[in-house]
Amino acid sequence: MSTVILVGEVEGNEIKDISQQVAGVAAGMGDVIGLVIGKNISESAMKLAAGKVVIADDEALKYYDPVKYTSIVSQVVEKNGATKVLMGATTMGKDLGPRIAAKLGWGYLGDCLEASSEGFVRPNFAGKILARSKPDGPLVASIRNNAYPVGESWSGSVENFSGKIADSTLSTTSIEKVGAGTIELTEASIVVSGGRGLESPENYEKLIRPLATTIGAATGASRAIVDAGWVPHSHQVGQTGKTVTPELYLAIGISGAIQHLGGMSGSKFIVAINKDPEAPIFKVADYGLVGDLFEIVPVLKTKLENQ
Amino acid sequence: MNIAVLIKMVPDTESRLEIVDGKIKEDGFKYMVNPYDEFAVEQAVQFKESVGGKVTLVSLFSDNSSIDTDLRKMMAIGADETIVLRQQGYRGDRTTSNARILSKTVKELDPDLVICGVQGIDYYQAATGPMVAHFLGVPHVSGVTNLELDGDKLTASRQMEGGLQIVESSMPILITAQKDMTKVRFPALKDIMMSKRKPFENREVEIEEGTDVVTVECSLPPSRGGGVILEGDGPEEKVDKLIEKLKMEAKVI
């Protein structure tokens, strides 16, 4: 059996859901050793679903630093003779993965949609193409939230990282919370997105955000309204923005340019609300509502509140 | 300040994507500068304008010279020179091998700062920046939405879940640009004319065998046949039908 290093992440006092999902994936590939890096994370780290967990808990590791974290992961890999490193495709995973692959001289697959001992599938061209591979050499991969069953919690053995923490010239001075309480687009199970049909940034605030809050959704946007400065780029769904694969995607006042469709057509169910019956978004929507969004959205919000 | 900017030439977003025998049909592709790399060029030029120095563009591509005009446009924005590494049989998805080749040329330039886009809009590995940084032996900060220069210190705002990580560092360092980092200027006519006289060097490079994972099969995502249009008299009825569908069929609410 090969050994797989699973890099887990802690949020608050819990292991991130995505990390537990990847733990489930890793279990199908070999003996799993979990690794959690941070400060004051030891107790939470033990909840990672792996037979053995290595914990690197140190003041110097409070904030993510690619130089320090890469050195820790590669030391744990070498010590355990591992041949795979897996992690969630979070902003940390997507940044750390390639640097580890370069250091170890291994292959790298980022942001995988599917991962198993059978092979990997990752999106190219913002999901307009799916690329399948069956790597046989050592590999680092980051895996996207894809509703994998969460790995079972396990009270296996725990070991403290005893290697050296590399020096780094990077120093994190603070974390600025933007839009506290909002749900991250790429991790959300429901996404409500707005486009030019909203006519003004005020209407985005008035219609899209409250609807999203009502159903616990993340808020997204088309490129057109990001370029117009209505919402920050972190909201953009599509080829030059984020690729999302929620259970439910609501496209409101979005016509559905091909670049946008690429970023959301992997969603399980798509609902489109648009006044133009010819809009391309209806070609991918499971349920379409043709009509005035200014009439439909408030009714939808009220009725969903009563659910 | 000596700045190197990595540029990837990527298929135009309007390109028709066709699959033949499990491979993407690429012969009809037109190429463009990866949009995220344009933000990097603009940032590099702004730093040069404020503290002086030089901006060198480095790109790895095939011997197809149709891309030269677009690279010259990046010099019209204010970059000083371009080095294109020409490789027979170039592929944009040989991530590690390509990063290693790029890093060799960048190393010769001995830059204080290397900037590139956070990801290519072709393969989305977001790997070139972190990998080149490793091969250069410098730290990196990726997905940066704002970059400030104060003497020899850089302060980067890095996009992360729910917020920004504010990171300070000395140089040398590699930064990858997120969309909000800069707004790319439209060059004036005189800058476009001037860019035609700026140095543009082509160098031959070989493919390096490496550890990159090879794609065995490409496919189009399962096509989503258009679903149903929910008819009804007025918004009330349409919304009722939608909620019914979401509860009974989709089971998402």
User: What are B97-130's pLDDT values in tens digits?
Assistant: 999 999 999 999 999 999 999 999 999 999 999 9
On the question of pLDDT at A155 being above 90, the answer is: no
Q: Which two tokens stand for residue A104?
A: 């170890």
CA distance linking residue B53 with residue B135, whole number of Å: 24
Integer angstrom CA distances of residue A299 from A199, A221, A248, A305, B44: 19, 21, 18, 10, 49
Confidence of residue A181 (pLDDT cuts 50, 70, 90): low
- Choose the mutation target among A91, A226, A230, A235 for the interface with B, i.e. most B CBs under 10 Å: A91
Residues 6+ apart with CB under 8 A from A52: A32, A33, A34, A156, A157, A158, A159
CB A24 within 8 A of CB A149: yes
> Residue A119: its chain B contacts at CB < 8 A?
216
Residue B106: phi and psi, rounded to 5, are: -60, -40
Q: Do A90 and B161 touch (CB under 8 A)?
A: yes
What is the tens place of the pLDDT at every residue in A109-135? 999 989 998 999 998 988 889 999 999
- Choose the mutation target among A73, A74, A130, A264 for the interface with B, i.e. most B CBs under 10 Å: A130
Q: Do B215 and A133 touch (CB under 8 A)?
A: yes
**Superfamily for domain range A3-160:** HUPs (3.40.50.620)
Q: Which CATH architecture has domain A185-305?
A: 3-Layer(aba) Sandwich (3.40)
Domain ranges of chain A: 3-160, 185-305
What is the tens place of the pLDDT at every residue in B46-89? 999 999 999 999 999 999 999 999 999 999 999 999 999 999 99
Confidence of residue A233 (pLDDT cuts 50, 70, 90): confident
CA distance linking residue B43 with residue A112, whole number of Å: 31
CA distance linking residue B95 with residue B188, whole number of Å: 35
A185-305 shares the fold of A3-160:
yes
Instruction: Pick the range with the lowest mean pLDDT from A144-148, A187-191, A225-229, B232-236.
Output: A144-148
pTM reported for the whole predicted model: 0.90
Spell out the domains of chain B, with CATH numbers in brackets: 2-204 (3.40.50.620), 221-253 (no CATH)
Averaged pLDDT for residues A216-228: 94
Averaged pLDDT for residues B125-147: 97
CA distance linking residue B8 with residue B120, whole number of Å: 7
CA distance linking residue A123 with residue A243, whole number of Å: 9
CB A54 within 8 A of CB A35: yes
Max avg pLDDT among A188-192, A245-249, A285-289, B218-222: A285-289
On the question of pLDDT at A180 being above 60, the answer is: no
Q: What share of chain B has pLDDT > 70, as a percent? A: 100
Query: Which residue in chain A has the smallest CA separation from B232?
Result: A289
Interface A-B: count of C-beta contacts within 8 A: 261
